[in-house]
Amino acid sequence: MLSGLVYAMAYPPLGWGGLVVPGLIGLLLVLRGQHGTKARTLGFLHGMTAYGASLSWLLNIFGGMAVMLWCVLAVFTALFAEMQSRASQRGVVGWHFVAFTALNWSAWEFIRAELFSLKMPWMTAGLAIGPNALLPWIGVYGVSFFVVSCTVLITSRMWRSAGVVIIGLVAAVFGSPRHSTPQANDPRTVNVAGIQLEGVSLNEYLAGSQKMPAEIQYVVWPEYAVPYDIRENKRDWKLVQELCRERDITLTFGTQSRPGGGDAWRNIALTLDPSGILGEHTKVHPVHLFDDGTPGKLALPVDTTHGKVGTPICFDCDYEGVVRKMTAAGAEWFVVPTMDAESWSARQHDQHAELARIRACENARWMFVCATSGISQVIDPNGQVHTRLGALKQGTISGWIRRETRLTFYTRFGWLVPWAVLGVAFGCWILLIIPKKRVIRN
């Protein structure tokens, strides 16, 4: 439980990322020599403490049911502990044990984050490290593999190898350069502004946009800025079109689409300019346990006069697929309408904001995130924040972004790393589950 608490401290609001290593070391040490129910219980206690401490804000959303969600997440740590105990019983030692432990943790983490029905990509080991030079190559789940490798090398007292991995991770974090702020005279740059407001009428967004400086070229409103199908409201739709024509801007904002006016609806990011509608994106990953619309299936950028723009919505950026697919399809930069309710607490906002930085770094793209009550931010292709409007604040945020076209190794091939890890780990699990043949001697 102590190591689980240390693990939780690696994430916001403290954000002491390096503590992810001792948090995992404590778990590995306590599992030594433990088998069966005791090993599973120890793993569960570590997970329950870690998730309960860090994701305590879930109580604000789900009340007592949050405890059940923590239990579900803790089961994955218990499964990790179960397979660790089986490997130990089979006599797996040395480098084989190092490799298996890294595979075992990373595979369960990937299942929890991306494949499980209640998938939760928060609090992965790689996420604690933050944006770094490894992300454009192997992604956040690949970084998790190296973090866990470091911890098991330490617990196995392979000091020289552990030192090499630690130096590599430190170099990846601090060796990642910060992009300079784009210059206005660069033809690839766009001056973007967003309005961070929650629970206000369309008039508030229109008024805020009218007050923006004349040089603003692109405006973003948050997810659910217009919580109805605006195209079905002739007055409101006319006002938005007039805003684009009068200010000569491109506008992306969160609204709904209700084809035929029925009960079925989609949560969309709608993009238009003075010429009319340019495109829309339907949210691919609705929030679990919420009525968040029918999920979309496509992840394509929108063609604008400012290049091809990816418009993922909020939760879409929590998972690796949507941003990667948009980038591979030609997205040169991203605007992200987001809803993080004020009642969910600043801690939730801080933790959620980290995932957008990871996606930007994995795919080497500028991102402009506009949230209801924070955190809105301008993120460069290395995942570094240039401009930020903090949690539980209201106002506008603006900044320059630059269009990028280079595809990272991760966007092309590196996204397959966690799948390869899962495949190898699955093979190992099968071998450990199959009873070992006993040799009968006469």
Extended strands (E) in 230-300: 250-257, 266-273, 276-282
Domains of the chain, first to last: 2-177+415-433 (no CATH), 189-403 (3.60.110.10)
Say what the pLDDT of residue 88 is.
94
Q: Which residue positions in the chain have pLDDT lower than 50?
A: none
Return the exposure string of 24-37: e unless at least 16 CB atoms fall within 10 Å of the residue's CB, then b. bbbbbebbeebeee
CA 315 distance to own-chain centroid: 8
Give residue 435's pLDDT: 85
Amino acid making up residue 256: Q
Phi/psi-derived region of residue 91, left when phi > 0, alpha when psi is between -120 and 50, beta in every other case: left
pLDDT value of residue 442: 56
pLDDT value, residue 436:
77
Residues 6+ apart with CB under 8 A from 172: 129, 132, 133, 134, 143
Give the per-residue pLDDT at 261.
67
CA 256 to chain centroid, in Å, comes to: 23
| Radius of gyration in angstroms for the set of CA atoms belonging to the chain, rounded to a whole number | 23
Are the beta carbons of 223 and 314 closer than 8 angstroms?
A: yes
Per-residue b or e along 245-257, where b marks 16 or more CB atoms closer than 10 Å to that residue's CB: eebebbbbbbbbb
- Element containing residue 385 per DSSP (H, E): strand 385-389
Residue among 337, 436, 421 at smallest CA distance from 101: 421
Q: What is the pLDDT of residue 439?
A: 53
pLDDT at 441: 60
| pLDDT recorded at residue 176 | 72
Token code pair at residue 18:
């390096």
- Which amino acid would we find at residue 416? L
Helix H or strand E segment including 74: helix 65-89
DSSP H helices in 111-215: 125-129, 135-155, 159-174, 202-210
Q: Residue 187 — φ and ψ, nearest 5°? A: -65, -15
CA-based nearest residue to 356, from 334, 372, 341: 334
Q: pTM of the predicted model, to two decimals?
A: 0.94
Q: What distance in Å separates the CA atoms of residue 395 and residue 227, rounded to the nearest whole number?
A: 20
AA letter at 258: R
Neighbours of 276 (CB within 10 A): 8
Helices (H), 175-291: 202-210, 234-247
H or E, element range at 350:
helix 346-363
CA distance 178 to 55: 30
Whether residue 289 contacts residue 66, with contact meaning beta carbons closer than 8 Å, is answered with: no
E strand or H helix at 102, and its extent? helix 94-110
**How much is the pLDDT for 263?**
79
Angle at 310 between CA 338 and CA 383, to 5 degrees: 70
